[in-house]
Structure 1
Amino acid sequence: MADGNHTVVYLSEQVVVLFSCALSFLGSSLIILTYIIWPDLRTTPRKLLVYLSVSDWLSAVSYAFGVWKVFHADSPDCVAQGAISTFANTSSFFWTVAIAVYLYVFIVRSSQRVADSLVLSFHLVSWGVPLVITVTAVCLNKIGYDASEVSVGWCWVRIDAPDKVLWMLLTGKIWEFLAYITLPVLYILIKRHIHKAHAALSEYRPILANRPLSHSSSFMADVKLTLIPIIFIILRIWSTVRFILLLANSPARQNPVLVTLHGIGNTSQGAANCIMFVLFTQPIRTRLSDALCCCSKCRAEVQRSHDPSHRLLPGEDALTQREDDSTGRTRDDT
């Protein structure tokens, strides 16, 4: 499975991870497109989701390049890919937490003004901090070939760097650990606040509380608030496990199943966000289905117009028009 400090990436692992990258690419693109197409859906939380999707889109592309190529030594394209994926992956952590902070301030603190005022700070932190860290790491020659010891073919922190653990923490792991703690705490607080508000509403306005639509909407919101931190942890935990195994110098980090799970987890965030915030969101799902139905109808009409069996023969259109005119006059006479 491994040759010294080098984890072998098998073809089957490449195929699975590349497929995961493709799903994440499509999912992130769909989130961005729905935001562009329908202006009435451009709420601030969805705008923050778009920024997160940009990071996930960039991560999917850079990871896909690394998995497809499977670097075996330092090279300029290895450093470029490692720098882009480091920036995008770290930025994704920050935007994920930023969305949770915004929802907490907006819902629990009941202050939309304060929540909206945080957006500029989110930009400065979520783009600025990853950029500074990545540029510093590249300038100090810390980004490069990592022998797939904590990756799946792509480049990250150089495996031969004497202070590689420090830079692995700075370029991703420390922010990942903080997200593991911050996300569950914030979403639990949000859920508690919503449940208390819903209980009060049920006590004083039981008719509204028992409406099917209200119950369905609140149930779906509750499910999303539960799934967001759970899915994040499930996807990211495999890279954390491999990192810990690397610190322990355990050969288990090179297990093919663990490597595959790591590759899927690191590249599936965009697909997971698309499922939760597009496919599981009723208004957007309805609009997408309507758009698909409209496209299929238009395609069928175009095919019918080009079908020879449905074409009018020369002069047939004029004959048809005369028949329609005579039928109309007959109806007028009667």
Structure 2
Amino acid sequence: MSSNNSNDTTPTSQLPPSVLICTFVSSLLSIVGAVVIFITYSLVTVARNQTRRLLVYLTIADLMTAVGNLVGASRYVYIYVIKNETEYLFNRQMQNVTTDAVCDVQSFVTTFSSLSSFFWTSIIMIHILMTLITQREWSSLRNRVIYHFVSWGVPLGITFLALSYDVLGEDFLTSTGPWCWIKGCLHKPEVFLWKALTGKGWEILTYFLTMAFYIMMKIYMWKRRLRFKDRSHHHLREEDELYIMIFFVIIILRAAGTIRFLYAIENTNNSPGTFDKVLLHIQSFGDSAQAFANCILFCIRDTAVRQDMWNRIRGMCRPVRDEEPLLAVTC
């Protein structure tokens, strides 16, 4: 895509270390959280159902996002902190120079993984709602094929579309943290259009979809409990009802980035204010933290999973009893 250097954005000053720390900490926590989710799915039999399998697919996407943001933040530290190339950002923005390979690859990966995460989040909510209504695991072969086509295929198609138009690259911190996304040297309307198409538009749609599914499930469960006076009619474990809380996880973690995006559209003053800087810190932590939050919600808070893993750890740590000593021979 051709673009003249008519973007109104000005060179962004170097990020404060606290923003980088937020990104590094949340990314590393999510990597650990993703590993824990994979381990519990492999070892804990009671949690090995279709809902947990969908969570594993979501975790794969969130793990890619965490690793991508970690790479992006590391690139930022190398260029702007270690090498201290203070003119790097200005020159690239003003001259519309193609960004480096690390930035391009990181932007491609995190764009794809973020979109995939939004789709898997919505599918989990749909799956739970239909499981409650049909009273059986809504996991036919056709449904599984549709799940994977929508959650992997559609994001991949959108990301390749952005790649074909050459819009992935250095973001210049417009509504992101210390990572790459859509080139900030494009015309301002183009930047926001591509960011809506490759992430924020789908993210906002996910907010409304998951909120609608959450309300529908709560109403359905409330009516069924009034009718049956217990929960024996549910085809879900009691702990599996935590999955409907995934609606709050995505909103709490990613709302700051959405607010910054909407604020940047309306903001005519290009210098970020205190409000934007506060949101930047929250976004730098939240955008990479979903796998960690899901680990807390679906592993640590899940009684069966927590108890099973604790028993395994205790069994591994318990010392092996020595063999009974031979009786001493008395002379």
- State whether residues 46 and 304 of structure 2, in contact with CA within 8 Å, keep that contact through their aligned partners in structure 1: no
Distance 1:259 1:176, change over 3 A: same
Work out the CA distance in 2 between the residues paired with 1:114 and 1:78.
Answer: 38
Distance 1:253 1:140, change over 3 A: farther
Superposed, 1:130-145 pairs within 5 Å as: 130-145=155-170
Gaps of 5+ in 1: 203-208, 306-316, 327-334
- State whether residues 106 and 115 of structure 1, in contact with CA within 8 Å, keep that contact through their aligned partners in structure 2: no
- State whether residues 7 and 147 of structure 1, in contact with CA within 8 Å, keep that contact through their aligned partners in structure 2: no
Residue 122 (structure 1) aligns with:
147
- State whether residues 81 and 155 of structure 1, in contact with CA within 8 Å, keep that contact through their aligned partners in structure 2: yes
Work out the CA distance in 2 between the residues paired with 1:7 and 1:108.
Answer: 53
Report the 3-state secondary structure (helix = DSSP H, G, I; strand = E; otherwise coil) of the residue aligned with 1:68: helix
- State whether residues 44 and 309 of structure 2, in contact with CA within 8 Å, keep that contact through their aligned partners in structure 1: no
Superposed, 1:92-131 pairs within 5 Å as: 92-110=117-135, 112-113=137-138, 117-131=142-156
The Cα shift of 1:111 comes to 5.2
Superposed, 1:1-334 pairs within 5 Å as: 4-6=10-12, 8-70=14-76, 72=89, 74-110=99-135, 112-113=137-138, 117-162=142-187, 163-202=190-229, 209=230, 218=238, 225=244, 227-249=245-267, 250=269, 251-252=271-272, 255-298=276-319, 321-323=326-328
- State whether residues 27 and 67 of structure 2, in contact with CA within 8 Å, keep that contact through their aligned partners in structure 1: yes
Work out the CA distance in 1 between the residues paired with 2:150 and 2:135.
Answer: 23
Work out the CA distance in 2 between the residues paired with 1:35 and 1:257.
Answer: 36
Gaps of 5+ in 2: 1-8, 80-88, 93-98
The Cα shift of 1:286 comes to 0.3
The Cα shift of 1:295 comes to 2.9
The Cα shift of 1:42 comes to 2.0
Work out the CA distance in 1 between the residues paired with 2:247 and 2:303.
Answer: 21
Amino acid at match of 1:267: S
The Cα shift of 1:136 comes to 1.8
Q: How many residues align?
A: 295
- State whether residues 245 and 252 of structure 1, in contact with CA within 8 Å, keep that contact through their aligned partners in structure 2: no
* TM, length-normalised to structure 2: 0.81
Deviations 1:81-109 (A, max 9, x none): 11001111110000000100111111124
Report the 3-state secondary structure (helix = DSSP H, G, I; strand = E; otherwise coil) of the residue aligned with 1:13: helix
Amino acid at match of 2:178: G
Work out the CA distance in 2 between the residues paired with 1:269 and 1:210.
Answer: 29
- State whether residues 44 and 305 of structure 2, in contact with CA within 8 Å, keep that contact through their aligned partners in structure 1: no
Deviations 1:100-123 (A, max 9, x none): 011111112445357664221010
Amino acid at match of 2:222: H
Deviations 1:22-62 (A, max 9, x none): 11111111111211223553211111000000001111001
Report the 3-state secondary structure (helix = DSSP H, G, I; strand = E; otherwise coil) of the residue aligned with 1:286: helix
Deviations 1:175-197 (A, max 9, x none): 10111100011011111111211
Distance 1:16 1:119, change over 3 A: same
Report the 3-state secondary structure (helix = DSSP H, G, I; strand = E; otherwise coil) of the residue aligned with 1:118: helix
Residue 311 (structure 1) aligns with:
none
Residue 3 (structure 2) aligns with:
none
Amino acid at match of 1:231: V
Report the 3-state secondary structure (helix = DSSP H, G, I; strand = E; otherwise coil) of the residue aligned with 1:30: helix
Work out the CA distance in 1 between the residues paired with 2:102 and 2:154.
Answer: 23
Report the 3-state secondary structure (helix = DSSP H, G, I; strand = E; otherwise coil) of the residue aligned with 1:242: helix
Work out the CA distance in 1 between the residues paired with 2:326 and 2:203.
Answer: 71
Structure whose alpha-carbon radius of gyration is higher? 1
Work out the CA distance in 1 between the residues paired with 2:129 and 2:141.
Answer: 12
The Cα shift of 1:68 comes to 2.0
- State whether residues 7 and 149 of structure 1, in contact with CA within 8 Å, keep that contact through their aligned partners in structure 2: no
The alignment-based identity, stated in percent, is 27
Distance 1:231 1:128, change over 3 A: same
Task: Let me know the Cα RMSD of the aligned residues.
Answer: 2.7
Work out the CA distance in 2 between the residues paired with 1:139 and 1:282.
Answer: 47
Work out the CA distance in 1 between the residues paired with 2:166 and 2:285.
Answer: 28
Work out the CA distance in 1 between the residues paired with 2:241 and 2:156.
Answer: 34
